[in-house]
Amino acid sequence: MLRKPPLFSQDVKQRLAIRFFMQIDLSVQEVTKKFNEFIAVDNVSFEVPDGSFFSILGPSGCGKTTLLRMIAGLTEPTEGKIEIRGKSMLGIPPNKRPVNLIFQQLALFPMMNVEENIAFGLRRRGEGKVDIKKKVEAILERVDLAGFGDKKIDQLSGGQKQRVAIARCLVLEPAVLLLDEPLGALDLKLREQMKVELKMLQAKVGTTFVYITHDQSEALVMSDHVAVMNQGVFEQIDTPQNLYNRPETPFVAQFVGDNNAWSGRIRQCNDMTAEIETAEGPIFHTKVRESLQPGDEVDLFLRPEAMLILPDPSLSELNRFHIIVKDILFDGANSRLLAHPLDADTELLIALPQTRQYDYIQKNDKIEIGWDQQSGICFRRS
């Protein structure tokens, strides 16, 4: 029997699926917010598909909360459009929007117990008593707080408050759940734990999460997509892997993960490989993404783990230079060498593999470092 050739190739099918079946839950189009003359959010656009975990990562004061509050309806944008599940949210007050916001300070109601906090939204919708009770119990179970219903808010630990705040919003089954640095107030250990828990919870309930944070590890660990925000502008929207490996702007390169910055000038450039004379001395060869002219000023970024200690002499294609060790920063699997190049005092961080083979390295040692031409990230300075 002759098999009919498929109508569409696999690739086209997938793209069509995304186009027609993946619903866009949240669409923000060219949104700007001005406070008097100050521009807090500047022409930001993005889309979040149904069921995904989207993070907005940026330093303190870059406009993350302002953006989230506009989505929740607590602030009106100066310009631009916000759509939730295809419906324009212009002029719709927060209590009529299918989104819920978890505040930076959680904002649990201290005058009510856990159960009443969670039932608050359901009661406002006028649902039946029996239904409310069932839903509250189900959601408490889901966030591992079964039996905590009649506890007072101030009897809960930080992590438990956290989960009550999440439950209070999730029970309303919002189209989008907005989270404003909800882990900010927790201590480090709990934060690590909640990070994983949140990610698993999101996978379990399948609600679309828009999560804002200034902690890059939170954003990288939890998200499907991350937007990096700086001074009101989105610098890059991408997967965590791409943000780390292929940053598109110097800000992203420096903000996401650690990076060593060099400044230099192009000596020559062909075939997307450039020869750069750095201000610190060494001359490097690196691949570049755009064609650069000799004489162009550039910033070169190198990840700590891109630099190899005492590279094998047989490896060609490596940039090699010498450094002086200033200090050894022991931090378990994340240990580094703090060093500087021979003739300059720029600080460099170099990953120190914990295989114990480099245990002999001491302060003030002079050692050779090598890095692959593929791993440099180069931007023309504007």
Partner 1 sequence: MKNQKRWGLFFFLSPVLLWLFLLIVLPHIDLLAMSFRIENDDGQMVWSLSNYLNFFEEPIYWLTFVRTAIFSILVTFLTFVIALPVAFYITKVVAPKFQGFLLVLLLLPFWVSELVRVYGWMILLRESGVINHFLIKLGLLNQPIEMLYKDATMILGLVYTSMLFMVVPITSVLDSLDNSLIEAAYDLGANMWTILFKIIIPHATPGIVSGSIVVFMLTLGNYLTPNLMGGKNSLWFTEQIYNQFIASFNWNQGSAFGFLLLVLSSIVVWLGLKLTRQNLRKVVQ
Ligand X SMILES: Nc1ncnc2c1ncn2[C@@H]1O[C@H](COP(=O)(O)OP(=O)(O)OP(=O)(O)O)[C@@H](O)[C@H]1O
Q: Which residues bind ligand X (CB under 6 A)?
A: 35, 38, 40, 58, 60-66, 214
Minimum CB distance to partner 1, residue 124 (Å) = 4
Q: Residue 35 touches which of ligand X, partner 1, Mg ion, none (CB < 5 to 8 A by kind)?
A: ligand X
65 near Mg ion, judged by CB under 5 A: yes
- Closest to ligand X by CB, 105 vs 291, is 105
Quote the tokens at residue 121. 């939204």
The number of residues in the chain equals 382
Quote the tokens at residue 168. 């209070």
Closest CA relative to residue 247, chosen from 265, 266, 230: 230
Minimum CB distance to partner 1, residue 280 (Å) = 48
Q: How many CB atoms lie within 10 A of CB 24?
A: 15
Residue number, nearest CB to Mg ion: 65
Residue number, nearest CB to ligand X: 65
- Closest to ligand X by CB, 214 vs 303, is 214
Minimum CB distance to partner 1, residue 105 (Å) = 6
- Closest to partner 1 by CB, 30 vs 150, is 150
Q: Residue 169 touches which of ligand X, Mg ion, partner 1, none (CB < 5 to 8 A by kind)?
A: partner 1
Q: How many CB atoms lie within 10 A of CB 357?
A: 10
Contacts for 333 with CB less than 8 Å, ≥ 6 apart: 354
Quote the tokens at residue 165. 């705040």
Minimum CB distance to ligand X, residue 155 (Å) = 28
Minimum CB distance to Mg ion, residue 181 (Å) = 6
Q: What angle do CA 124, 180, 90 make, to 5 degrees?
A: 60
**Which residues make up the interface to partner 1 (CB under 8 A)?**
72-74, 93-96, 100-101, 103-105, 107-113, 116, 120-121, 124-125, 168-169, 172
Q: Residue 66 touches which of partner 1, Mg ion, ligand X, none (CB < 5 to 8 A by kind)?
A: ligand X
How far apart CA 363 and CA 327 sit, in angstroms, is 6
- Closest to partner 1 by CB, 72 vs 306, is 72
What are the strands, taking DSSP E only, across the chain? 24-35, 38-49, 53-57, 79-84, 87-88, 99-102, 176-180, 208-213, 225-230, 233-238, 260-270, 273-278, 283-287, 297-302, 307-309, 318-329, 336-341, 348-351, 366-372, 377-380
Kindly state the number of chain residues that form the binding site for Mg ion, as judged by CB under 5 A: 1
Question: Which residues here bind Mg ion, judged by CB under 5 A?
Answer: 65
